[in-house]
Amino acid sequence: MMHLRSRWSPKAFGTWWRNLNTGVLKEADHEKRVSMVPAVAEKLIAKGYKIAVESGAGLKSGIPDSAYQAVGCSVVNRNQVKESELLFAINPPPAEELKSMTGKTLVAWIGRRLPEGEAFVKAGQEAKVTLIDTTAVPRITIAQKMDVLSSQAKCAGHRAVLEGAYAFERFYQGEITAAGKYPPCHTMVLGIGVAGLAAMGTSSALGSVVRAWDVRDVSDQVKSMGGKWITVDFKEDGAGAGGYAKESSKEFQEAQKATFHKHAKEVDIIISTAAIPGRKSPVLIEDYMVKDMKSGSVIVDLAAAGGGNCTLTKAGESYVTDNGVTIIGYTDLAGRMGMQASAMYATNMMHMVNHVTGKEGAEAFMPNVNKALGSDEGDIVVKSMVCCKDGEAIVAPPPPEPTPVKKKEPKAEKAAAVIDPAQEARQTSAAVAGTSALAIGASLGGDPGFIALLNTFGLAGAAGYQAVWGVTHALHTPLMAVTNAISGLTAAGGLMLMGTGGGAMAQGLAQASVAISAVNIAGGFLVTKRMLDLFRKPGQEDFTSIYLLPAAGLAVVPFVLPAGAPTVGTLSGLMCIGAIGGLSSQKTAQFGLALGVTGVTGAMSMTLAALPAGQLAPALGLVAAGGAAGFGLGKAVNPMALPQTVAGFHALVGAAAVATCLGSHMIHPDASVGHKVGAMLGNAIGGITFTGSLVAFGKLNGNMSSKPFNLPNKNLLNLGMAASQMGMLGLYCATSSPGLGTALMYGTTALSSTMGVHLVGSVGGGDMPCCITVLNSYSGWALVAEGMLLGSPTLTVVGSLIGFSGAILTKIMCDAMNRDIMNVIFGGMSVAPPKKGGAVEEVKEHRETKPEQVADLLLDSKEVMIVPGYGMAVSQAQRAVADIANFLKEKGINTRFSIHPVAGRMPGQMNVLLAEAGVPYDWVYEMDEVQDEMPSVDTCLVVGANDITNEAAETDEECSIYGMPVIKVWEAKNCIYLKRSMAGGYADLENPVFFRETTQMLLGDGKSSCEGIAAALKAKS
């Protein structure tokens, strides 16, 4: 018996899988379906599958051999088909035929959990055939497209209604004719799974009055389809494993039978679908109930194969009872829709092989199967479907637990928290006292200069903290860019080391710090200017040149009035704080940028003026070279690439901090404890920032996989590296040996660089917006460490400002994404909660639309809300969206944009993209500003947004994004989703809004869809 782990290697099968020979077997005479249809075969051939179809395989489904040949299949006899390596069938062939398939892989409806399925698997083991059971797909979201049980059950449910209508021989809908008035048919559906929902839908469409019941409380689904929910006066949870219903208790069965007896007397047609895999079908309708039914009534028992839900059902037969009730027990209802059922089954098979191979194509099928079987972390879909291989049984993992279907109940109002004023006062007092005690304790016996800088750090941090909270969400991206530029003051640290000795290595590090920091300064400020220009309204004047006049004065003062240099440093720090304050609104943003430039200019000028003789010219050359490079980068970057550009700038700050700290150690190997603490902390934080930012850049730019590393014992790795770092810091502070000190500094560089890779690499690509803000914060703390290292109040002030700014943005982002801030900071410290709601109970239906229909809907609206998401950015649809908004505005339709704080890959990215497309900023609102107005919106256009509009975040407490604030687009009167496909967002969760009656899906490329809508609007004007 083989458990989940296997000894096979993906390479064991050689190269013959590169052109995977695939065969399609003809079914037995009683089966009308076929496992492959030409339309699907054509798609698989394009992926490297060579398909041979047994002659006559599709005839009973209305598919001639010539249709297969027309798409590239070969039509051969059965023995030739069995030469293929991968064989498809619906029903498994006779067990004795397996001996002729040794070494092959058979994909069929095996039913491994059923007794006959177990016997067939045993025969497959003996014949050494790899068996893949299509019915064993786990009921999780990613496997929904492969679920043959759902697709065939839908066909069966639809066909059941048609069979019932044929046997009923009366009107389905109510009719008023010259010959009299005839009431509608009344239908009772028992079991609301996929088949039951399909039966409900078809019955309602034909005009029947439907009532329904299920052991689970799915009353909301029934009512949403226009049905009446049947209540059994007995409470019991009916949800079972794998998304199926479980067997009910004896007491519940008695109560439900009394209820069914009552309804059986009233209805005309009963359709029962209750089945439990591997067990006898539960009895819901007994003979005494049938005897009390009206003559001419019909029972269609979809559970006949398992013994039937009705005691009088005869599997495979249809007959009329003595009292005139027709009981239909056909076990091939799906097969009676041969063409449709075959097409759906074949599509399921295509999704299955695509899931296994990914983008690699046919050649990867068996290697990927082996890979999944060979690891405990292997793909659960594959491990669930493979029954046996090479003569050994494969034990399937347990089926996933379903998400319980909960009856919606009004949320109880939270009781107001009772606050004890005295207790609150004591806690506040204790917090102040504790903080003060820590500060005083840290100052005892310490370096006075270090303590003075610590005080400066605290005061500047408090001021910066207040300033950052005032920045509007729309300007968070410019905020990050301007703080990135300001963090380029690591150049000042390099300048302070130039000409102070330490050897060629130390001076080289100092010069490198100056040059790469200058890249940050010039590039960061230019990117900020370009973004703010996008927000400027047409005709609005730009006074930046006037705002920058004070910068000229601060640049000159340190050279002509050396005594005023300290004051210039103080003013520079204050202006950097003012730069952030200026970004609190669009009106003052340009002034804020100018303050930032002025502050950095003053700090750099003050430092340049203090350089030793002979160092000024080289320093100016380094600044000029770095600035030119930064200017080029800032001018070339486009708004789509802003996230990775910001990450790249962060890397430069980290590298500059490392260079400065190493150079400072070489110049002052026997410095004071305060100096050593600053040197090692700056080195460590800079190393983490440098490599972590490079990893973030790689993930955002597509150079690296966005998946988290998830190394074994990653938490212990993080703790071990952090403990080692603290140990080295303690040893560094205690030692007086220059050699050991140098070794410890180099060790810190290596260790922190490794930590940066692991911390950021362990965070998934979807959390990169949070990671960017964390790295932004780290760059500030590195600058603080430099300030303390070099005794610079200006660097300390500016560093604390940036550190707190990044920390606050991180808090805002994590709250908006419902992420654990500690999990992001410490590299995926805890594993993200598994997706809930993954158990799939039915294949839900959605409504699709076309650009012309969307245009009609928009023109009929008075209030339109547009919700952009990252999909808009990827498809570069912002200009087409702007065209739509402009046209609607011209027509007098109130059109606005609602922006989620984390729509995109960094804070405020959607605002920048819309501004680039020419959308005025006063058309754009933060989510909270317009959330309450959504019910009055006639049409909500959702462009490439999923998770930020997912209703499950508010309704499903077990959903992995539960609690994340979302835009309530479902409250609008009409909702149009523009998406590439029906797939989930980053969280890979199904969005219930997709299936609402008021929602329509416009699927396809976002840019093409928006351009189509814009063109349709203009054509109708």
Residue-by-residue DSSP string for 948-961: GG-THHHH-TTSTT
Residue 834 confidence (pLDDT) above 50: no
Task: Give helix 642-667 / helix 490-497 axis angle, nearest 10°.
Answer: 20
Which 8-state DSSP code applies to residue 98? G
* Residue 680 amino acid letter: M
Which 8-state DSSP code applies to residue 398? P
Model confidence over 333-387: pLDDT tens digits? 999 999 999 999 999 999 999 999 887 888 889 999 999 998 888 889 999 999 9
* Residue 180 banded pLDDT, cuts 50, 70, 90: confident
Least reliable range by pLDDT among 26-30, 724-728, 787-791: 787-791
- Examine the residue annotation and report whether 925 is marked as an active-site residue of this protein: no
Name the residue ranges covered by the structural domains of the chain.
Answer: 10-144+338-393, 146-336, 446-825, 851-1020
At residue 11, the pLDDT reads 36
- The distance from CA 81 to its chain's CA centroid, rounded to whole angstroms, is 42
Residue 622 confidence (pLDDT) above 90: yes
Angle made by CA atoms 902, 904, 908, in degrees to the nearest 5 = 65
Residue 10 confidence (pLDDT) above 80: no
Q: Checking phi first, is residue 699 left (phi over 0); if not, alpha (psi -120 to 50) or beta?
A: alpha
Six-digit token pair at 37?
């249809």
**Superfamily the domain 10-144+338-393 falls into:** NAD(P)-binding Rossmann-like Domain (3.40.50.720)
Contact 983, 945 (CB under 8 A): no
At residue 96, the pLDDT reads 92
- Looking at 870, 921, 925, 977, which residue is catalytic? 870
How far from 463 is each of 31, 485, 572, 575, CA to CA, in Å?
78, 19, 14, 12
Angle made by CA atoms 215, 216, 221, in degrees to the nearest 5 = 120
Six-digit token pair at 776?
């932004």
The CATH code of domain 851-1020 reads: 3.40.50.1220
Residue 753 confidence (pLDDT) above 80: yes
Which 8-state DSSP code applies to residue 330? -
Half-sphere exposure of 462 (CA within 13 A, CB side): 5
- What is the per-residue DSSP string for 224-268? HTT-EE---SS----B-GGGSBPPPPHHHHHHHHHHHHHHHTT-S
Model confidence over 677-736: pLDDT tens digits? 888 998 999 999 999 889 888 887 778 876 777 778 777 888 889 899 999 999 998 888
CA dist 35 and 108 (Å) reads: 8
At residue 762, the pLDDT reads 81
The pLDDT of 514-542, averaged and rounded, is 82
- Looking at 905, 921, 925, 977, which residue is catalytic? 905
Instruction: Classify each residue of 924-936 as buried b or exposed e, where b means 16 or more C-beta atoms within 10 Å of its C-beta.
Output: bbbbeebeeebee
At residue 247, the pLDDT reads 52
- What is the per-residue DSSP string for 687-716? HHHHHHHHHHHHHHHTSS-SS----TTHHH
- Looking at 113, 336, 980, 986, which residue is catalytic? 986
Q: Which of 559, 790, 549 is nearest to 661 (CA)?
A: 790
The Cβ of residue 723 has, within 10 Å, a number of other Cβ atoms equal to: 10
At residue 260, the pLDDT reads 92
Residue 928 confidence (pLDDT) above 50: yes
Angle made by CA atoms 430, 431, 432, in degrees to the nearest 5 = 90
CA dist 438 and 905 (Å) reads: 39
At residue 468, the pLDDT reads 61
Strand partners, 394: 2
- Given the candidates 3.40.50.720, 1.20.970.10, 3.40.228.10, 3.10.20.30, the CATH classification of the domain at 146-336 is 3.40.50.720
Model confidence over 285-297: pLDDT tens digits? 999 999 999 999 9
Give the gyration radius of the chain's Cα atoms. Answer: 35
The pLDDT of 623-638, averaged and rounded, is 89
At residue 964, the pLDDT reads 77
CA dist 127 and 221 (Å) reads: 46
CA dist 1000 and 941 (Å) reads: 10
The pLDDT of 219-241, averaged and rounded, is 69
Least reliable range by pLDDT among 459-473, 568-582, 953-967: 459-473
Model confidence over 65-97: pLDDT tens digits? 999 999 999 999 999 999 999 999 999 999 999
CA dist 586 and 190 (Å) reads: 60
- Examine the residue annotation and report whether 746 is marked as an active-site residue of this protein: no
Strand partners, 74: 52
CA dist 410 and 428 (Å) reads: 37
- Examine the residue annotation and report whether 986 is marked as an active-site residue of this protein: yes
Domains 10-144+338-393 and 146-336 share a fold: yes
